[in-house]
C-alpha cells in the first residue's frame, strides 16, 4: 500500500473488488487507473470543498482497504468513502438477482464471483460523458477522447480531476471542440454540459428514481428521459441504465452481436435484422434482469476467448 491513512471498508456481501473493476472498461478511463499486478484501483477527485485528492482501493486477504492522503479532515475522508461506495456500486442489491439465477444452472458461476455490479463514476455526469464517447467509435479512440476531456479539469500537485459540466460549458463550444476532438460528439457534449449548467437537466435525480426496485414503469420513464438527450441512442441509453442498475432494456451493438454469435453459433447464419430479433427474444424472458443477463454473456464470451 502507498503511504497515507488506511481505512477499512465494509462493502455489502457478497463482494469482490476484482469483479466490479472488470465489470466493464471504466477502469481504463481517466481519472481512474489500475495496477493490474496488485489489483489496486486509483482515482483523482475534486472534493466538494475544491480539494483535489488521489486515493486508492485494494483488496487484501478478503479485506477492502481505502488509502487516502494524510492531513485530510474527517469530512473529506467521509466524502471519499461515499465516492468509493458509489464507484463500487454498493447500492445495488444482488441477492434478488442471485435468487432468480438459481433456476438457471448455466449461470451458476455468477454468484460465487459476486458478479453483477458495474463500476460507476462519482457522478452521473461523468458516466454520461464516458458513455457518449463510446458511441460509434473504437475503444482506443474512446480512451483518447476521455483523456482529452479529463485534461480539461482542475489540477493540483500533478493530479487532474474530471471536469464539471460548468467547466466545459464555460469554455465555449468552439474551444471545447478543439480540445476534445470528438467529431460530431463535440456538439452533444457541449449541449449536455450547457443544459446541466443552466439547470435544465438533473441527471442525478433521473438516475436516483426507482433504483431500489424492479419497476418496469420506472425503467420506461428513465429510458424515455435519457433517449431525449442528443447523442444518446438505444445503445448509449441502455448502457447507462445498466450502470445504474436498471436492466429492462438491452444494449445491442457490434460487440453484443459478436459475443452472442460466439456463444450461440447457430445465430451466425442469421442476417442482422434476424440476429437482433433473436437476441431480444432470448433475453426478454428474463424480464427486468434481461440486460444484466445479457451482459454476463458478453463477459463470458470475452473471458473464454471466444471474441477478441
232 belongs to a structural domain: no
d(CA 293, CA 277): 16
With respect to residue 140, please indicate whether it lies within any of the assigned structural domains.
yes
Same domain? For 135 and 53 the reply is no
Q: Do 195 and 145 share a structural domain? A: yes
Residues 266 and 196 in one domain: no
Residues 104 and 155 in one domain: no
Under 8 Å between Cβ of 217 and 256: no
Are 148 and 195 in the same domain? yes
Same domain? For 203 and 173 the reply is: yes
pLDDT in tens, 28-75: 999 999 999 999 999 999 999 999 999 999 999 889 999 999 999 999
Same domain, 79 and 130: no
**Residues spanned by the domain of 107:** 5-113
What local confidence, expressed as pLDDT, does residue 158 receive? 87
Residue 239 is assigned to a structural domain of this protein: no
C-alpha dist (Å) from residue 139 to 135, 142, 184:
9, 5, 17
- Encode 4-36: b = buried (16+ Cβ within 10 Å), e = exposed: beebebebbeebbbebbbbbbebbebbbbebee
The reply to whether 203 falls in a domain is yes
Per-residue model confidence as pLDDT tens digits over 74-118 = 999 999 999 999 999 999 999 999 999 999 999 999 999 999 999
Show which of 87, 113, 139 is a domain's final residue: 113
Q: Are residues 199 and 293 in the same domain?
A: no
What is the predicted pLDDT for the residue at 170? 98
Of 53, 85, 113, the domain-final residue: 113
20 close to 115: Cβ distance less than 8 angstroms: no
43 and 75 in a single domain? The answer is yes
Residue 240 burial (CB count, 10 A): 25
Q: Which residues of the chain have pLDDT under 50?
A: 210-212
Close Cβ partners of 22 (under 8 Å, ≥ 6 residues apart): none
pLDDT value at residue 212: 46
- Which CATH number is 148's domain given? 1.10.340.30
- Is residue 52, in this structure, part of any structural domain at all? yes
Q: Which cell numbers hold the place of 274?
A: 434476424
Global model pTM greater than 0.85: yes
Q: Count up the domains in the chain and report the number.
A: 3
Same-domain status, 23 and 68: yes
Q: 227, 244, 279: which is the final residue of a domain?
A: 227
In a domain, 235, yes or no: no
pLDDT at 14: 92
Domain contains 34: yes
Q: What is the pLDDT of residue 2?
A: 60
- In this predicted structure, what is the pLDDT of residue 204? 94
Question: Is 175 within the bounds of a domain?
Answer: yes
Among residues 80, 88, 86, the alpha carbon closest in space to that of 23 is found at 88
Asked if residue 269 and residue 211 are part of one domain, the reply reads: no
Same domain membership, residue 159 and residue 190: yes
CATH of the domain at 108: 3.30.310.20
Amino acid at each position: 500500500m502507498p503511504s497515507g491513512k488506511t481505512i477499512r471498508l465494509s462493502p455489502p456481501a457478497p463482494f469482490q473488488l476484482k469483479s466490479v473493476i472488470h465489470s466493464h472498461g471504466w477502469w481504463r478511463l481517466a481519472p481512474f487507473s489500475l495496477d493490474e499486478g496488485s489489483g489496486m484501483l486509483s482515482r483523482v477527485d475534486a472534493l466538494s470543498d475544491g480539494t483535489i485528492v488521489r486515493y486508492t482501493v485494494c483488496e487484501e486477504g478478503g479485506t477492502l482497504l481505502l488509502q487516502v492522503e494524510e492531513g485530510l479532515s474527517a469530512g473529506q475522508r467521509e466524502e471519499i468513502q461515499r465516492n468509493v461506495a458509489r464507484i463500487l456500486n454498493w447500492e445495488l442489491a444482488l441477492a434478488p438477482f442471485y435468487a432468480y439465477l438459481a433456476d438457471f444452472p448455466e449461470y451458476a458461476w455468477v454468484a460465487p464471483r459476486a458478479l453483477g455490479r458495474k463500476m460507476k463514476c462519482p457522478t452521473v455526469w461523468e458516466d454520461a460523458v464516458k458513455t457518449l464517447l463510446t458511441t460509434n467509435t473504437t475503444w482506443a479512440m474512446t480512451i483518447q477522447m476521455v483523456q482529452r476531456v479529463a485534461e480539461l479539469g482542475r489540477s493540483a500537485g500533478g493530479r487532474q480531476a474530471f471536469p464539471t459540466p460548468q467547466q466545459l460549458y464555460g469554455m465555449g463550444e468552439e474551444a471545447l471542440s478543439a480540445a476534445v476532438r470528438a467529431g460530431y460528439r463535440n456538439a452533444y457534449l457541449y449541449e449536455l454540459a450547457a443544459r446541466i449548467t443552466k439547470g435544465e437537466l438533473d441527471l442525478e435525480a433521473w438516475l436516483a428514481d426507482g433504483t431500489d426496485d424492479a419497476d418496469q414503469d420506472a425503467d420506461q420513464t428513465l429510458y424515455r428521459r435519457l433517449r431525449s438527450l442528443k447523442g444518446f441512442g438505444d445503445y448509449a441509453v441502455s448502457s447507462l441504465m445498466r450502470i445504474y442498475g436498471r436492466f429492462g432494456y438491452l444494449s445491442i451493438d457490434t460487440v453484443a452481436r459478436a459475443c452472442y454469435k460466439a456463444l450461440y453459433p447457430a445465430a451466425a447464419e442469421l442476417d442482422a435484422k434476424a440476429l437482433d430479433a433473436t437476441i431480444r427474444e432470448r433475453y426478454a424472458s428474463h424480464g427486468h434482469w434481461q440486460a444484466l443477463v445479457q451482459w454476463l454473456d458478453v463477459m463470458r464470451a470475452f473471458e473464454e476467448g471466444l471474441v477478441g
